[in-house]
Structure 1
Amino acid sequence: MAGSKGVVLAALFANGAIAILKFGGFLLTGSPSMLSETYHSISDTGNQVFLLVGIRYSEKERSREHPFGYGKAQFFYSFLVAVLLFGIAGWESVKHGYDAVFHGGHALPGTLSFAGATFPSWYVNIVVLLGAIGFESYALAKANAEVRRQIDKYGWSGLREAFRKMSDVTTLTAFTEDAIALLGAGIALVGILLSKATGNEVYDAIAAVLIGLLLMGFALALAWENKRLLLGESLASDVEGDLRDAVRETPRVVHVETFRTVFVGPENVLVTADVSFDPEVETAEIDELIGEIETRLRDVDDRVTDVFIEPEV
């Protein structure tokens, strides 16, 4: 949890600073792609706020109404990020870029003056975007370190498998958002440079459309990832098999009738099983055997937080 919070705080700092810089660049130059990037960074900043709210809410103590805790709050707030923030920001970016492509954008000032010096206006956007790339690189490095830590911990083959199996949606969201932000800044940079090189502002407008489509695509992907966890996804079949074997290999266990797992929060898994014990096991021994099963399960995977064993003799 501490790793996830650190990743989100780093991204919040970076995106807040970048949003202010990009909006300043748009006000000075009227660049369509800079406005799209402003939407992008504002949505990213709101994203981090929602994720922090989700982390905070998920840390609440268990209650009668929520006997397995509030861990799924992180899934819910990440889903809101996808639907409300990235979807809206993406749509606004596409709409603004479309209008600029087909109806023309704002006339960009040729030069700007500052402290008695005069310089081309497009310099502002280049400086802002290079600064954004620097900030986003810092945030991405922080998120990547946490993702790599979890890949090493759980033995995943790489990013592709991590995206399919990771339950820490807070880190997953921050990592993907930072990567998309870097790509968006790169697209805006290329669009502005092409417009400057050709004298045709349509490239800047096209960049705005591409950034919007990028955001909307990410919104759909993130929503899909959260859907699987909100609906109650189980552990991967290979991990579940290892857990089942740990139960089966416990002394005096004859057979494992049913075995189920489900995520009740990031890094929190509920395990239920119907277990047949040796007919000669005394009733008083069953509690001790169940305690040993719980220990074995947690030794196999430390994400197991709740275990319910139904004994059958």
Structure 2
Amino acid sequence: MGEFFKLLKGGNKPSLIAAIVNTIIAALKAGAFFLTGNVAMFAEMMHSIGDAANQFFVFIGSALSKKAPTPRFPNGFGRLVNLVCLGAVLLVGILSYETIKEGWHHIQHPAASSGVAISLIVLGISIILEFAVLFKAGKEILHDVSIKGGLLAPLTTSFAHLNRAKPATKLVFMEDLVATAGGVLAFIAVLISHFTGFLQAEGIASILIGVMMFYVVGKVFLDNARGVLGETDEQMLVHLAHVVSENTNVKDIQELEVTKEGEFLHVKLVAEIDPTLTFAKVDDIHDALKELILNQQGVTDVTIAFDEDDGIRTWTTHRDKQTILKTHD
């Protein structure tokens, strides 16, 4: 049990913050829904319950994924966070269906809701809190890829680097992006329903929120399914090929693999070198390459092997300098 709590300290912080915030928001929305009967509020309540449950599971999964390898699991537990994310989005999928179903029922049988002021106040507070979590997740994405930006960078630049974010951070960012947009949509629907008498607006908002939730389900499911299978990090592969080739003792790269396992990268390199080099020199080359590769962000282990140079150039993809990453200090 002590090891478990120690691992929790290394869990993904944005997911923990998001889970706590969404638990508070879900409680507020639940209270508002039971007081007002507002269907758009029901959709938002379901959304926040799903997000809170997801993010608690993801936090725990991200923490356990950092558990050290064991004799039974020599490759470690890096992919555990992908498995947890897959389970988490299934829960969101179920809640998405219920949200859409309730919205459709309200469109067919519209009914006026009471307590407009309560609904608007709760939705306003929720939007502010969700936006704060979204901003925090955006900052974490920029930190993951070692990029600094201006005040609005977490809401702008982070989109361009979303695919390189940690699985847990990416899930939090996408869920809270949809949650913030859904809150605004529900706020507008309540106003339209109250001031125009178009009661179906709340049902339409509920369906739209459910559809957005389904989008997150599909996107996160596919991303983490690839992670479970062991996806190649193409950008890091090209970057490593470039920096390895800068070593004057490396004549060619015979094989290079960069495999994602959760938040971690595993590297396998087979380099061609001069066959006349002494064992001591080869050992120095090995140590230099190992240190270089392990200094790259996200790389946790590397396997290096050598073969004699056959004089035939086979690896050329490292010349694509547009994909070169900044070396992690």
Rounded Cα–Cα distance in structure 2 between residues aligned with 1:36 and 1:234: 38
Structure with the bigger RCO (C-alpha within 8 Å, sep 6+) is: 1
One-letter identity of the residue aligned with 1:95: K
**Within-5 A mapping of 1:255-270:** 255-266=252-263, 268-270=264-266
Q: Distance in 1 between matches of 2:79 and 2:148?
A: 21
Gaps of 5+ in 1: 110-120
Which residue of structure 2 aligns with residue 139 of structure 1? Answer: 133
Q: Distance in 2 between matches of 1:148 and 1:97?
A: 37
User: Which residue is 1:18 aligned to?
Assistant: 25
From 295, 300, 304, give the equivalent of 2:299.
304
Question: What amino acid is the match of 1:250?
Answer: N
Question: What amino acid sits opposite 1:269 in the alignment?
Answer: L
- C-alpha offsets along residues 112-163 of structure 1, whole Å, 9 cap, x if unaligned? xxxxxxxxx2111011101111221221222121122234449999334312
Question: Where does residue 114 of structure 1 map in the other structure?
Answer: none
Say whether 1:58 aligns with 2:53.
Answer: no
Equivalent position of 2:234 in the other structure: 236
Out of 267, 271, 284, which is 1:271 matched to? 267
2:78 corresponding residue in structure 1: 71
Give the superposed CA RMSD: 2.3
User: Which structure 2 residues correspond to residues 243-262 of structure 1 after superposition, within 5 A?
Assistant: 243-262=240-259
Q: Which residue in the other structure is 1:103 paired with?
A: 109
Of the three residues 89, 98, 108, the one matched with 2:95 is: 89
Alignment match, 1:170 = 168
**Aligned partner of 2:130: which letter?**
E
Q: Deviations over 1:16-48 (max 9, x none)?
A: 111011111111111111111110010011011
Q: 1:242 to 1:218 in 2, by over 3 A?
A: closer
Separation in 2, partners of 1:52, 1:161: 24
**TM-score, with normalisation over the residues of structure 1?**
0.87
Separation in structure 2 between the aligned mates of residue 154 and residue 242 of structure 1, nearest angstrom: 20
> How far, CA to CA, are the matches of 1:295 and 1:124 in structure 2?
59
Correspondence for 2:199:
201
SS in 2 for 1:253: coil
Letter of the 2:251 partner, please give it: V
How far, CA to CA, are the matches of 1:161 and 1:224 in structure 2?
18
User: For residue 247 of structure 1, what is the amino acid of its counterpart?
Assistant: V
Q: CA deviation at 1:4?
A: 6.6
- C-alpha change, 1:302 and 1:2, in structure 2 (3 Å) is farther
Deviation at 1:275, TM superposition (A): 1.7
Distance 2:246 2:186 in 1: 58
Q: Distance in 1 between matches of 2:188 and 2:215?
A: 20
The answer to whether the 8 A contact 1:4-1:146 is kept is no
TM-score normalized by structure 2? 0.83
Q: 1:256–1:274: 8 Å Cα contact kept in structure 2?
A: yes
Unpaired runs of 5+ in structure 2? Answer: 1-7, 309-329
**When the two structures are aligned, how many residues end up with a matched partner?**
296
Identity %: 28
Answer yes or no: is the 8 Å Cα contact 1:94–1:213 preserved in 2: yes
The C-alpha deviation readout for 1:81-124, integer Å capped at 9, x for no partner, is 22x2221111100000001111334x534xxxxxxxxxxx2111
